[in-house]
Amino acid sequence: MSTDPPPHEHDRSCLDTVIEAPILVSFIEEILSACGLTASDARCCGEWLADADLRGVSSHGVLRLPMYVDCYRRGILNPKPDMEITQNANAVVTIDADDAIGLIAGTTAIDTAISLAEQFGIGAVFVRRSSHFGTASHYVRRAAERNFAAICTSNASPSMIAWGGLHPVLGTNPFAAAAPGGARYPAFVLDMSTSVVARGKIVAAAESGDPIPEGWATDFAGNATTDAARALNGALLPFAGAKGSGLAMFVDVLSGVVSGAAFASQIKSVANSGSEPVDVGHFFCAIDVEKLMPLSQYRSRFDNFVDIMKGSGEGRDVLIPGERSDASRRDRLQNGIPLRAATVQELDKIADLIGVSRLVTEPTH
């Protein structure tokens, strides 16, 4: 049974709050364990979602927990998947994720790619029968921290037009890449959706009632809109026009067509799939840098590269991909993770529904 919240938390509709990362991890772990996940998988998901919030990517953090719980309750996700390698060609394999939550399928896949790269120098893993896997940067960063360069992609249910089209046929189809850091600089970690903005940011804006910038999306009739709710019923726009559209198509070819997963308009939206799995596909590639040169040599060359990038600013701050999220993580580990009141309310509902204690937070001042 859920416990009553402290007196000051009976009405949390207007309170923005902060929470320490370990408390958030434990809360997520308890919720997902109640959904049937193993203790290790629930813990992995908790750490994963909390890390997204620590790094300032709140659109893919605990905000997503109600969606995942709903998917488990409807049978879209399998809490105890039996993932297996179905195609094995030495350095290239395909994994059937058995309708696992994407966070677990993706973690298994990048670890497999790393293992293959340790053996062959490079490892490529295709995944089918998966689901939403959160921020792509999580997986490539995991590889970079072990001294591997990495790439990962994922398709998604249609929410974006193909350039020149009128109706959504492509997902936001993220692309991420990472390389190990040097002796003086942290890892290079690039994460980008192929739309102007990730759909999760529009979801977050709709939840909070905030407008979105012009040029992000159109409404159902194809008109430009700054209303997040209208945008969710319309279509996202690809970044850089035809270039973003072309990259999104290639991501879907790798993640969907080649993997054997659903692709383009075949991918079901969670909102409209009933109890049917969504069959999202992913692609992961890891490269063992030490198979190419001594790690000390690589680190020196990487630092030199970053020095050149930063020196080009002539006094202005030139950021390397991954620096802002690293800074956010350091700050939030010390000062706590901020959560919107609307997010806390949704988490309260989930806790009450599942029958676990509500999240204990501290109001901001």
Sort strands 148-154 and 160-161 into parallel, antiparallel or unpaired: unpaired
> pTM of the entire structure?
0.90
Structure tokens at 185: 């600089």
- DSSP E strands, 132-208: 148-154, 160-161, 168-170, 175-179, 188-192
Does residue 186 sit in helix, strand or coil? coil
Pick from 160, 173, 174: nearest CA to 235: 160
Output the six-digit token pair for 162: 């193909």
| Burial environment of residue 133 by CB neighbours within 10 A (0 to 12, 13 to 18, 19 or more) | buried
Q: 178 near 141, Cβ under 8 Å? A: yes
**Mean of pLDDT values over 345-353:** 95
Domain with CATH 3.30.1370.60 in the chain: 84-195+238-296
Determine the Cα–Cα distance for residues 47 and 103; give it in Å rounded to an integer: 10
Give the CA diameter of the chain.
61
Q: What is the pLDDT of residues 264-318, one digit of tens each?
A: 999 998 877 788 999 999 999 999 999 999 999 999 999 999 999 999 998 899 9
Say what the pLDDT of residue 299 is: 99
What pLDDT, in 10s, does the model give residues 110-125?
A: 999 999 999 999 999 9
> Which tokens belong to 350?
């989930």
State which amino acid sits at residue 60: H
Mean pLDDT for the chain? 93
User: Is residue 362 scored above 50 in pLDDT?
Assistant: yes
How far does Cα 40 stand from its chain's mean position? 19
Which ranges in the chain are annotated with CATH 1.10.1530.10?
Answer: 7-74+336-363
The token pair at 289 is 């840098």
pLDDT tens digit sequence for 51-82: 999 999 998 999 999 999 999 999 999 999 99
Is residue 59 exposed (0-12), middle (13-18) or buried (19+ Cβ within 10 Å)? buried
Class of domain 84-195+238-296: alpha beta
pLDDT at 301: 99
Task: Give the β-pairing of 175-179 and 235-236.
Answer: unpaired
Half-sphere exposure of 63 (CA within 13 A, CB side): 28
Residue ranges of alpha helices (H) inside the chain are 21-34, 39-54, 65-74, 102-120, 137-144, 199-208, 228-232, 242-252, 295-311, 323-335, 341-354
CA distance 300 to 73: 50
* CA end-to-end distance (rounded Å), the chain: 31
Residue with tokens 């994460």: 191
Nearest Cα neighbor of 136 from 146, 114, 151 is 151
Helix residue ranges, H only, 149-269: 199-208, 228-232, 242-252
Confidence of residue 200 (pLDDT cuts 50, 70, 90): confident
Whether 130 and 97 have beta carbons less than 8 Å apart is answered as yes
Burial 271-283 (b: 16+ CB within 10 A, else e): eebeeebbbbbbb
Architecture of domain 7-74+336-363 in this structure? Orthogonal Bundle (1.10)
Distances (CA, A) of 227 to 67, 213, 232, 340: 22, 9, 9, 19
* Rounded Cα gap, residues 87 and 285, in angstroms: 16
Q: How confident is the model at residue 207, as a pLDDT?
A: 82
Confidence band of 15 (pLDDT split at 50, 70, 90)? low
